[in-house]
């Protein structure tokens, strides 16, 4: 279970006993004479073979296109410079398993274990509009460039700051336009409940108070929370890094998906 969904209480699905469900009953299988079964099976195999080769050809074209694009951009089998710079700072460790939808950035800060989780599959991929939001309009009016935020897209994050025997602060936030937009801060007395990704822990989290909406807090308290996170390197630099990494990972996973599907179809 993902911590991205830990704070949601509205999405609890009621389990309906099997005896109460509307079960669709299908008629008994009609057995064809052996000659007809043989003809039908031959047609099925023939159809699969024809479409398999077409699909493989299309997949190969897409693979070739992606590899050619990577060569032109100079990123083929090369770690991007922005990623090299991020790793060279030695602050965050990237935990990213090929084929997994989730990425974790982890670090220690004093007696704290800090984890920032984000998920490729939960990125808002809606087409950006040409209209400036109020913050961008203010920056533009003051003469500040907004170019660095032009291609930014929102990414949901789950931040946990844990202390042994003291529990955990879990922060639901959204990264957008180089900022962490905090939605709520939840305190869990039990660190296991806060960080464990099991159905049992998720069920317990659903029943606990998750804290007030962050924007309803006193403005000074909001600012102090933001300073608290900034001291732990949860800053604009990290907010700009996360969308870049999501895009980078999504591209890698897409290429791996193409190769995997092609290999399966060919087998």
Over range 122-143, report the average pLDDT.
55
Q: Are residues 190 and 237 in the same domain?
A: yes
Residue 186 sits in a domain whose CATH number is 3.10.280.10
Q: Are residues 65 and 196 in the same domain?
A: no
Range ranked top by mean pLDDT from 92-96, 129-133, 142-146, 248-252: 92-96
Residue 11 is assigned to a structural domain of this protein: no
Q: Are residues 91 and 53 in the same domain?
A: no
Is the model's pLDDT at 244 over the cut of 80? yes
Q: Using the CB atoms, write b or e for 35-44: b if 16+ within 10 Å.
A: eeeeeeeeee
Higher pLDDT, 145 or 237: 237
Higher pLDDT, 146 or 14: 146
Put simply, whether the predicted model's pTM sits higher than 0.85 gets the answer no
Least confident of 10-19, 64-73, 228-237, 255-264: 10-19
Rounded Cα gap, residues 92 and 84, in angstroms: 12
Q: Are residues 208 and 116 in the same domain?
A: yes
Higher pLDDT, 18 or 48: 48
Identify the pLDDT of residue 194: 77
Q: Are residues 166 and 191 in the same domain?
A: yes
Is the model's pLDDT at 260 over the cut of 80? yes
Identify the pLDDT of residue 195: 73
Beta strands in the chain (DSSP E): 93-96, 102-109, 112-119, 155-163, 167-176, 179-188
Higher pLDDT, 28 or 210: 210
Is the model's pLDDT at 102 over the cut of 80? yes
- Mean pLDDT value across the chain: 77
Is the model's pLDDT at 249 over the cut of 70? yes
Alpha carbon separation from 259 to 1, 58, 72, 216, 221 (Å, rounded) = 27, 12, 20, 48, 50
Identify the pLDDT of residue 70: 80
Residue 264 is assigned to a structural domain of this protein: no
Alpha carbon separation from 171 to 82, 147, 212 (Å, rounded) = 26, 29, 12
Using the 3D structure, point to which of 49, 75, 101 is the last residue of a domain.
75
Residue 267 is assigned to a structural domain of this protein: no
Over range 178-204, report the average pLDDT.
84
Read off the pLDDT band of 48 (50, 70, 90).
Answer: low
Determine the structural domain holding residue 97 and report its residue range: 79-252
DSSP bridge partners of 163:
112, 167
Identify the pLDDT of residue 241: 96
Residue with tokens 């195999």: 45
Q: Are residues 141 and 229 in the same domain?
A: yes
Rounded Cα gap, residues 252 and 245, in angstroms: 10
Residue 16 near residue 116, CB atoms below 8 Å:
no
Identify the pLDDT of residue 169: 94
Identify the pLDDT of residue 12: 34
């Amino acid at each position: 279970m993902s911590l991205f969904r830990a704070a949601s209480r509205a999405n609890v699905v009621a389990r309906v006993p099997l005896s109460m469900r509307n079960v669709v009953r299908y008629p008994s299988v009609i057995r064809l004479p052996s000659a007809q079964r043989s003809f039908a099976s031959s047609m099925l195999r023939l159809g699969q073979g024809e479409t398999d080769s077409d699909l493989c050809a299309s997949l190969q074209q897409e693979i070739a296109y992606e590899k050619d694009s990577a060569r032109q951009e100079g990123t083929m089998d090369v770690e991007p410079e922005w990623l090299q710079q991020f790793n060279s700072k030695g602050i965050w460790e990237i935990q990213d398993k090929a084929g997994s939808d989730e990425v974790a950035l982890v670090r220690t800060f004093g007696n704290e274990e800090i984890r920032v989780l984000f998920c490729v599959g939960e990125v808002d991929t809606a087409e950006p509009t040409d209209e400036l939001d109020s913050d961008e309009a203010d920056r533009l009016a003051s003469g500040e460039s907004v170019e660095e935020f032009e291609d930014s897209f929102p990414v949901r994050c789950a931040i946990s700051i844990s202390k042994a025997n003291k529990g955990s602060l879990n922060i639901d936030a959204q990264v957008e336009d180089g900022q962490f937009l905090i939605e709520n801060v939840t305190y869990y007395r039990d660190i296991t409940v806060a960080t464990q990704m099991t159905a049992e822990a998720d069920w317990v989290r659903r029943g606990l108070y998750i804290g007030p909406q962050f924007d309803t807090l006193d403005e000074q308290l909001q600012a102090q929370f933001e300073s608290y996170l900034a001291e732990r390197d949860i800053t604009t630099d990290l907010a700009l890094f996360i969308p870049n990494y999501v895009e980078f990972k999504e591209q890698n996973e897409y290429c791996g998906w193409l190769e995997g599907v092609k290999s399966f179809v060919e087998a």
